[in-house]
Each structure stands twice: as C-alpha cells, then as structure tokens.
Amino acid sequence: MSRRDLLKASGATAGMALVPEMAQAQMNKPSKNTFRLSLNLSTIMGQNLGFIKELEVASQAGFRSVEIWVPTLEKYLASGGSIQEAKKKISDLGLTIENAIGFAQWIVDDSSVRNKGIEQLKREMGMLAELGCKRTAAPPMGATAEPGLNLKAAAERYRTILELGDQMGVIPQLEMWGHSKNLHRVADVLFVAAESGHPKAKLLLDVFHIYKGGSSHESLHLVGENSIEVFHINDYVTSIKPDQIKDADRIYAGDGEAPIDKIVHALKPSAQPVVLSLELFNKQLYAQDPLVVAKTGLEKMKAVVQRVNAQYKV
C-alpha cells in the first residue's frame, strides 16, 4: 500500500470513529428557537373564576404552563384554601407554574416604603417557592408616576431582591412597563439588569409594552440569549398610538399589526425554551366563555410559532 493510500484509509477510519461522537454532540446541542406556550391568567381573570377554576380552564384548553397572579392566590388562601391543596391540584392538572405576577414596591426611593416592599416580596417568594413557582415579576411598582429614577440606584435595589431570591429559591425578573415614567424602555431595563452585576438577572418583556414604551423591536437583538426566560405575548393595532393605547386594547397574538414574527424570532432560546405567555386584559374577551378564550389564544400562539419556524427555517 502506498503512503497516499495508507493516509486515505487512516482518514476514513478516523472519520468513521468520529461519527458516533458527532451524532451524540448534535443530540446534546441545545435546540434553538424552541418555545413553551403559557397562559397568563390575566387573560381569563375578568370572568372572576377564582384561582382553582382558572387553573382548570387553562389545563382543559391544552396549556401545560401558566402564570399566576399573587393577589388571586392570596384571595384563594384567605377563603380557606391552602398551598398544599393548590400544589396537588396543579400537579393533578399537569400544569407548571412558570411565573407569578406581584406588585411589591421594591424599587422606590422612599426607604421605609421600599423596606416594606422587600418584606412583601419575601413573603410572596416564600409562598411561591412552596407552591413550586421559581420566578416572579419585579415591575417598577410605585415608581411609575414621576420620571427621574436613578438607574444605578435601581440596579442596586434589583441586586438586593436578586440576593433575596437566591435565599428563597425564586428569581425576580425585572419587568418593563411601557406606561411607567421609569423602566419603560428596553434600554432602561437592560442597563439596570446589567448594572446589578448578578448572574441571575433576567428581563420580563412584553410585545405590548415594547410598543407602549416607545422602544423599537430591533433593540431585542441586544438582549442576550439567556436574559429572557418568560416573554409576554399579545398584539395591538397601530391605529391606536402608543400614548393612547391601554392594557384593555391588547388582542390575540397574530391578530394585530405588531411585528410579531420578528419579535418572537429575536428571542433566540438557547439552553432552555423561552416561555411565551399570553397576557391579555381585553374586556370583550372577558365577556366570553373563558375556555373558548384560552383555546383560541393557544391556537393563535401555535400559529405564530409555526410561522416563525417556517419563515426562518428553524
């Protein structure tokens, strides 16, 4: 055998040996642009079903992930329910509580109010951890009316509640509110999260709030692949301008004029799927059968994801 033939044979053998390793590496490679579809229970909150019935409707509609509201949970507990009973019900329904929506004033300048807000958040995190929920929203509650919040101070305060989250086993996600005078733009929450210097800092963004707050969806490419675990999805019509549009004007994902496909594609899930959670406050939908609303919302979300996957050849 010539040296050339020997080298060819050796190369082929080595290549064959690498095939199983390459296949295994491909299997272990995290999938891109994968999403877990969730129902934010605000979408059927207007029907006044109560905590347990909301969960039942979400499950019957086909959701396996939900976002709960802390006030609704607290009302259930005050009426005689228990965390243990709720946890069993959630398990029986095959649901995962992806996130909770709360309104503690952790970010305000007034130190006495802020300390009370942190204590509230600690209490809420305790309930959520016991329930099996590992995330909670951290919006700029109490700092919405007057502009001028010092973003470096906000970053320090965000780090404080992130460290609290480390102790409690719940991650507070910095939520952007488009209607707020502070933290209403993607750039603001990006700065605060980065300046906090905490490895678990996360952003909670929203199609509606991106429009309402005046940010461009093009800014989403600056948000790191692991910065978003939950994203609120909805839609709007541009005939209602950002300064006039209200939460009640949100509509099903894909029914409006938001660049919804581009937004969803820009999220780029990596190590784990991004939770796309339908968050609506539409009074017309509140007048309808909640099961129909939930089912319709799920189908429209599936259509968005399928279209994005096809369009971008994911």
With CA atoms as reference, report the closest residue to 279 among 246, 237, 231: 231
With CA atoms as reference, report the closest residue to 36 among 63, 5, 55: 63
d(CA 211, CA 185): 9
Q: What is the pTM of this model?
A: 0.89
* pLDDT by 10s per residue, the chain, length 314: 555 554 455 554 444 444 444 444 443 343 455 899 999 999 999 999 999 999 999 999 999 999 999 999 999 999 999 999 999 999 999 999 999 999 999 999 999 999 999 999 999 999 999 999 999 999 999 999 999 999 999 999 999 999 999 999 999 999 999 999 999 999 999 999 999 999 999 999 999 999 999 999 999 989 977 899 999 999 999 999 999 999 999 999 999 999 999 999 998 777 789 999 999 999 999 999 999 999 999 999 999 999 998 887 65
With CA atoms as reference, report the closest residue to 69 among 84, 50, 88, 47: 50
Q: Which CATH class is domain 35-312?
A: alpha beta
Kindly list the domain boundaries of the chain, sorted by start residue.
Answer: 35-312
Alpha helices, H only, 29-148: 51-61, 70-78, 83-92, 111-131
Q: Is 187 helix (H, G, I), strand (E, B) or coil?
A: helix
